[in-house]
Amino acid sequence: MDQLIYHNDGIIPLEKARLSPGQVGLLTGWGVFTTLRVYQGKPFAFERHWARMKRDALQLGIPLCYEEKNVRQVIVDLVRANQHPESMARVSFVKNEGGLWAEAPGRPATDLLIFTRNLVDWPAAQRLQLEPHGIFSVGPYAGVKMLSWVSHAAVLERVHAKGFDDALLVNEKDQLAECTSANIFLVRGGEIFTPPLSSGCLAGVTREILLEIAPKAGFPLHEKELTASDLDSAEEVFISSTTREVAAIESISPQWKYPAPGKTTIALEKIFQEYVWDYLRTRV
């Protein structure tokens, strides 16, 4: 990550950042986060990311004692300080109080941490591995983007070691849900299908945008419960995420292969890029 970060009330060198060892969020992963794409020094779709963090924080009982417009400006300032106008930013709210072991005197109720870093160089066509029982869809925190992300991070590390780019997580009902850091889409018969939030998948910001713009561009996009058998009839598969945007999938282990990128994937990638540039033109 870049060497300057933001912590609570100012930009500081990374090595000078200090968290209380008794901070409950540090000890238990009690916090929320989001990852944003920065284009031309501007945090893309920040208001959507903020709305999701606010919703998830309420679900987890985490006070967001910071103003939306101020946090957005902090990201802009940090990107400028790190001289990194084309990058990604991670915004985290870490809970300080609560639980038997919490001890963070002199701290606000919630710490704000913001990091930036260079973009990940993802391959043009990506490879997934199917991961049975990779996600639990009916718990009270299903779909919440919380700091305790080890269940996804550990899977990602394991499949990377095998040469895959990500895992396709299957829930306890044998339904497709999501990748560890991306939403999944299948193309079939001129229509596009993506798992509903009830699958346990994250309400991804890029997913949300595609659900709005794809139908307007003539590409029917539906939320639908999907299983591995739907991979047999899919003509194309793609994923979406803040950092990968719209990305083609060439194979899903153990048995599925697809044209990558397919015609629909190429078209949606173009439509999404147009949306990004329109957004940037209206932001200072």
Residue 156 neighbours by CB under 8 Å, 6+ apart: 166, 167, 180, 181
Domains of the chain, by residue range, sit at 4-117, 125-280
| pLDDT tens-place string over residues 78-109 | 999 999 999 999 999 999 888 777 777 778 88
What pLDDT does residue 160 have? 96
Six token digits for residue 142: 């299903």
Q: Under a CB-based contact definition with an 8 Å cutoff, are residues 56 and 144 in contact? A: yes
> Which listed CATH number (3.20.10.10, 3.40.50.1580, 2.60.40.10, 3.40.50.300) goes with 125-280?
3.20.10.10
Domains 4-117 and 125-280 share a fold: no
For 54, the enclosing helix (H) or strand (E) is helix 46-60
What pLDDT does residue 65 have? 87
Comparing C-alpha atoms, which of 75, 41, 51, 26 is closest to residue 209? 51
What pLDDT does residue 11 have? 97
Q: Which residues of the chain, if any, have pLDDT below 70?
A: none
The whole-angstrom separation of Cα 260 and Cα 151 is 29
Q: Under a CB-based contact definition with an 8 Å cutoff, are residues 76 and 105 in contact? A: no
Q: Is CATH 3.30.470.30 correct for 4-117? A: no
Which residue shows structure tokens 């639908």? Answer: 224
What pLDDT does residue 44 have? 98
CA distances from 124 to 60, 127, 161, 269 (A): 36, 10, 19, 12
The whole-angstrom separation of Cα 203 and Cα 133 is 19
| pLDDT tens-place string over residues 234-280 | 999 999 999 999 999 999 999 999 999 999 999 999 999 999 999 99
Which residue shows structure tokens 């940090």? Answer: 78
Cβ atoms < 10 Å from Cβ of 26: 19
- What average pLDDT does the structure give for the chain? 95
What pLDDT does residue 29 have? 93
What pLDDT does residue 22 have? 80
Q: Under a CB-based contact definition with an 8 Å cutoff, are residues 6 and 78 in contact? A: yes
Q: What is the pTM of this model?
A: 0.95
